[in-house]
Amino acid sequence: MSNARLDAEVLLRAILKKDRAWLLAHIHDALDEEGQKRFERTVGRRARREPLQYITGCQEFWGLEFIVSPDVLIPRPETELIIESVLSRLPDKNGSIRLLDLCTGSGCIAVSLAKELPAAQLFAIDKSPAALAIARNNAQQHGVSNRIRFFEGDLFGPIEELDIHGQVDMIVTNPPYVSLAEQQSLQPEVGKYEPAMALFAGPEGTELQKLIIDGAPGYLKSNGMLVMEMGIGQAERLMNIISMDERYRSSAVIKDLAGIDRVIIACKK
């Protein structure tokens, strides 16, 4: 692990509940016996390739601190492209808007958008009750729980009975998109520790994305948008699916900082 020193520093800060400036100022101080034992336990967990974020219980996303556990996917910096894509396409960030977040996981997308859009109403869905519990905690921690309604179930299923068909401005989602064939090639931090439900879509990796593309127009307003994260090499396949669906008028691909096609945006007619 090339970042062993940095990881050890983060673990030590988490144990001591101190910031980096304090730690650097007290770098030569000795830990007490209990602190030493706790530090050794956490270092042992990291040595077994358990993700740092699961050990500390938190991860930063969009400048906010999110609670995470092995019940949710760890928020990645590239997923912030979804937030950027939504905000850049809204003419009035203070206006009333209705958003739907599928596969919400930790709630990082829904909560971040709720913080940025003070008049937005959000619906967040996940089929994992444990993930939803974390998402609710994150919404409460950031003071937006009164504007996000959480639903347990698969994709659009939990909201079929709601009267919001054709009334959603944007659907955002970071669905599972790893193919089963890629399972053995994943880093241990991912394949061994992160929830399979949040990672794997099926043999192709695009199974859930196809279902979302098919279901989204039923909920979107005219000119409403689907903003969806995707995996490496999936852009052409998904663009073709969207182009063959006459309910969409256009689509676009956004690259991440590494130049990888990361987010696809489809606009309903």
Helices (H) and strands (E) counted in the chain, each on its own, are: 11, 11
Mean local confidence (pLDDT), 62-71? 97
Amino acid at site 228: M
- Residue 204, domain member (yes or no): yes
Mean local confidence (pLDDT), 95-113? 97
- In a shared domain, residues 115 and 248: yes
pLDDT score at 51: 95
- In order of 50, 67, 144, 199, 206, the CA distances from 190 in angstroms are 9, 18, 29, 9, 19
- Residue 61, domain member (yes or no): no
Give the tens place of pLDDT for each residue, 192-224.
999 999 999 999 999 999 999 999 999 999 999
pLDDT score at 5: 80
- Name the pTM for this structure: 0.91
Give the tens place of pLDDT for each residue, 222-259.
999 999 999 999 999 999 999 999 999 999 999 999 99
- In a shared domain, residues 168 and 241: yes
Question: Is the pLDDT at 37 greater than 70, yes or no?
Answer: yes
- In a shared domain, residues 88 and 190: yes
Question: Is the pLDDT at 13 greater than 60, yes or no?
Answer: yes
Domain that holds residue 29: 4-48
- In a shared domain, residues 20 and 88: no
Mean local confidence (pLDDT), 55-61? 95
CA distance 131 to 135: 6
- In a shared domain, residues 123 and 242: yes
- In a shared domain, residues 115 and 83: yes
CA distance 225 to 38: 48
Confidence of residue 3 (pLDDT cuts 50, 70, 90): confident
- In a shared domain, residues 39 and 92: no
Cα 105 to chain centroid distance, Å, stands at 6
pLDDT score at 150: 98
CA distance 236 to 234: 6
- Residue 226, domain member (yes or no): yes
- In order of 78, 153, 198, 260, the CA distances from 75 in angstroms are 9, 21, 11, 18
The mean predicted confidence, pLDDT, of the chain is: 93
- In a shared domain, residues 185 and 240: yes
- In a shared domain, residues 107 and 42: no
- Residue 198, domain member (yes or no): yes
- In a shared domain, residues 40 and 87: no
Confidence of residue 2 (pLDDT cuts 50, 70, 90): low
- In a shared domain, residues 73 and 30: no
What CATH number is attached to the domain comprising 132? Answer: 3.40.50.150
Task: Tally the domains of the chain.
Answer: 2
- Residue 60, domain member (yes or no): no
Helix (H, G, I), strand (E, B) or coil at 252: strand
- Residue 57, domain member (yes or no): no
Q: Which residues of 93-105 are buried (b: 16+ CB within 10 A; e: fewer)?
A: eeeebbbbbbbbb
To the nearest whole percent, how much of the chain has pLDDT over 90?
A: 80
pLDDT score at 34: 82
More confident: 92 or 196: 196
Give the tens place of pLDDT for each residue, 121-177.
999 999 999 999 999 999 999 999 999 999 999 999 999 999 999 999 999 999 999
Mean local confidence (pLDDT), 74-97? 94
Helix (H, G, I), strand (E, B) or coil at 88: helix
CA distance 135 to 105: 7
Question: Is the pLDDT at 1 greater than 60, yes or no?
Answer: no
- Residue 141, domain member (yes or no): yes
Tokens of 230: 């995707």
Residues 6+ away with beta carbon under 8 Å from 137:
67
- In order of 132, 240, 264, the CA distances from 129 in angstroms are 5, 34, 28
Question: Is the pLDDT at 8 greater than 60, yes or no?
Answer: yes
- In a shared domain, residues 34 and 115: no
Residues 6+ away with beta carbon under 8 Å from 219:
100, 156, 159, 164, 165, 166, 167, 168, 171
